[in-house]
Structure 1
């Protein structure tokens, strides 16, 4: 094949592929040619409108004889505004190009103070929260528990699955210690101890879900206090932002989640371990890398991960008198770190958007029964548009032309 002929074919193919990429709902031209979108990130067909993504293990299997929880009803009209009812990207074109190379299936950027949703993708899609549900647990506990009450650690706390702060049998901890460990390092042992103080596992879930309902978080159902996957667990990018905004209105929560380090108590020797020695307290460090690394204006955030939830994050940053919250759900690391690089790009986009940019609203608790219809003039990006169809038509013509050229040049036997 001659070089000039090869260039013609390559040009046609490239033009067609670029046109297809730009014509897709929410299509973004990526500067990095090596970027490969996450295989689960295509939400234009609303695969998670009612159900969370399929589980990859048996963590959500119900006990024999038990009933699998039915999905939560889909709110109509959509909470926060009708523009948020869509499943693909919704954004105001006046805010500029969207952040590139985002791998989360669902995400959201909002103004924490005004409640304006600046941009989102599948905002009400149903996803598993992983440990970000601990924000709801903390908010529930702060309503009820005395921060200075002393709690004694148990063997069950010590044996808790997943991330732990290091509670040991016979150790003494204040509720403040437990809540700080809960939001700083995602201690599942702290979640278990807090749930015990709230009346036990089932009572705690009932209180957490009542709290979510009162806030207007209609996509949320806590099925475990810690965020470990369990049957019926559900939330959404919108609800994550709504719950985090409420929690940040509590001075105690705001102070706890902003701490880079904290002195966590130790516990006595284990009774069933011969010649075991005391386990001293230690300096606990935050699991939020943006806070740990000193990202300017970081107020705090909560990370999460399970095999079924994949990576999740919710966090807030203050800059130039504005405070933004970002949410990332069902994400994986591809090229960039989900908790830092991608969050930074989302924040940069949000702060660059003009103040007042809004495609929806984080509702206030008192108005949660009535969906805000602000910004209904914004079109759902998943809807067909004449320009997109024109690009698709051009892409098809280009690809067919390339195929004809290739056929003509094919050697005949």
Structure 2
């Protein structure tokens, strides 16, 4: 099979990230070549990758980032798209992708002691042990206030007989289904845990799955909500506000998620619509420079993305189940994995698709074997480790 040229791209170094005092970062897993070409060979870089002949993106002090089209799946550009990083609370989006479809929002549930067992001083919505809340309220507490108590509750409810551990397992299964092969969850909240990683590319896959769900979009764009009183616990009702400033300050904002831990630093996912086009930005390992917070850095990258031509891309977001659907044998897998690694686009709404450029047959076969082995290894992985208590 003859190789088809990849899109013309421009590469270079990412913007520098300020050196600050922080705890030692955990060693990431060894890079797997198959993971780094998912979405397109141009994405296998630790540096900047953007379409040729487009404006240079604004410098953002983040270790990695990516901008993509939520509808077509086109990756418009990125910095280290497949570099491992720790997620902090943006991991709550993976919890939503995995568990939201399973739970009846009108069901009223009782909060347990395990649910509210969180790191003192970490983000919480204030659920009361023994309190009874509609599941819809708990989702709002998760997405508006980044409640770690809400994350524990929802993971337990969505985890079946295995409770919270089952919820974390469901998150990892959903990550594999989405093609987020560099993502491994250990805690439902995003509090740091040994072996917990993601990437800017994987976060875009997860965010795309979330924004495809109307219920998620409704919760995530809510500005204020009431948490009901709990008379048995002598706790009054109170209002919570959405802490994603993009919703208040960026025209066309659809929502997203903020995050921070000492290890992960600032992480951010944001989405917006302009001129009938919906884009998502993901940032990992960001620092606040010149008082520009994560959402502001994300907004600058969204502005850059909206200025690009609609056909500009350096790769694409793979479709849910696409990598698992590839046949097991190397010969049978080559065409499917070549398409998965290529930069061709498919519309999520099944409109007419652009032709998907293919890698050379030799590279495709190598990728196929590597991905097949990777999926086998991950399916045999042990259950989640106990969370390490950090902010």
- TM-score, normalised by the number of residues in structure 2: 0.76
| Secondary structure of the corresponding residue to residue 281 of structure 2 | strand
2-structure distance, mates of 1:295, 1:55 = 31
Aligned-pair distance for 1:323? 0.5
Query: 79, 94, 99: which one pairs with 1:136?
Result: 94
Structure 1 residue aligned with 2:61 = 103
Structure 2: gaps (5+ residues): 1-10, 325-336, 345-356, 359-391
CA-atom RMSD in angstroms: 2.7
2-structure distance, mates of 1:115, 1:309 = 26
Aligned-pair distance for 1:211? 0.5
Does 181-190 or 169-178 show the bigger shift? Answer: 169-178
- Cα distance 1:263–1:168, how it changes in 2: closer, same or farther (>3 A)? same
| Secondary structure of the corresponding residue to residue 269 of structure 2 | strand
Listed as ranges, the matches of 1:301-380 within 5 Å are: 301-369=256-324, 370=337, 371-374=340-343
2-structure distance, mates of 1:333, 1:70 = 27
Contact between 1:38 and 1:334, CA under 8 Å: does it hold in 2? no
Aligned-pair distance for 1:156? 3.6
Asked if 1:113 corresponds to 2:82, the answer is no
Query: 239, 246, 270: which one pairs with 1:283?
Result: 239
Listed as ranges, the matches of 1:18-37 within 5 Å are: 25-26=12-13, 37=16
Query: 175, 182, 189: which one pairs with 2:135?
Result: 175
Query: 23, 26, 36: which one pairs with 1:56?
Result: 23
Aligned-pair distance for 1:71? 5.4
2-structure distance, mates of 1:215, 1:264 = 32
2-structure distance, mates of 1:174, 1:219 = 34
Contact between 1:95 and 1:352, CA under 8 Å: does it hold in 2? no
2-structure distance, mates of 1:76, 1:155 = 39
Structure 1 residue aligned with 2:385 = none
Aligned-pair distance for 1:74? 4.7
Aligned-pair distance for 1:39? 3.6
Aligned-pair distance for 1:176? 1.2
Contact between 2:123 and 2:148, CA under 8 Å: does it hold in 1? yes
Contact between 1:262 and 1:284, CA under 8 Å: does it hold in 2? yes
| Secondary structure of the corresponding residue to residue 155 of structure 1 | coil
Listed as ranges, the matches of 1:4-23 within 5 Å are: none
| Secondary structure of the corresponding residue to residue 273 of structure 2 | strand
Aligned-pair distance for 1:70? 5.7
Structure 1: gaps (5+ residues): 1-23, 29-36, 42-53, 61-67, 271-277, 378-413
2-structure distance, mates of 1:103, 1:69 = 20
Asked if 1:196 corresponds to 2:156, the answer is yes
Aligned-pair distance for 1:289? 1.0
| Secondary structure of the corresponding residue to residue 12 of structure 2 | coil
Asked if 1:237 corresponds to 2:204, the answer is no
1-structure distance, mates of 2:28, 2:208 = 28
Query: 233, 246, 253: which one pairs with 2:216?
Result: 253
Structure 2 residue aligned with 1:152 = 110
Aligned-pair distance for 1:112? 0.9
2-structure distance, mates of 1:27, 1:208 = 30
Aligned-pair distance for 1:85? 0.7
- Cα distance 1:353–1:309, how it changes in 2: closer, same or farther (>3 A)? same
1-structure distance, mates of 2:66, 2:100 = 26
Contact between 1:81 and 1:372, CA under 8 Å: does it hold in 2? yes
1-structure distance, mates of 2:314, 2:274 = 21
- Cα distance 1:333–1:173, how it changes in 2: closer, same or farther (>3 A)? same
- Cα distance 1:166–1:343, how it changes in 2: closer, same or farther (>3 A)? same
Contact between 1:169 and 1:268, CA under 8 Å: does it hold in 2? no
Aligned-pair distance for 1:341? 2.5
Q: Which has the larger radius of gyration?
A: 1
2-structure distance, mates of 1:79, 1:352 = 26
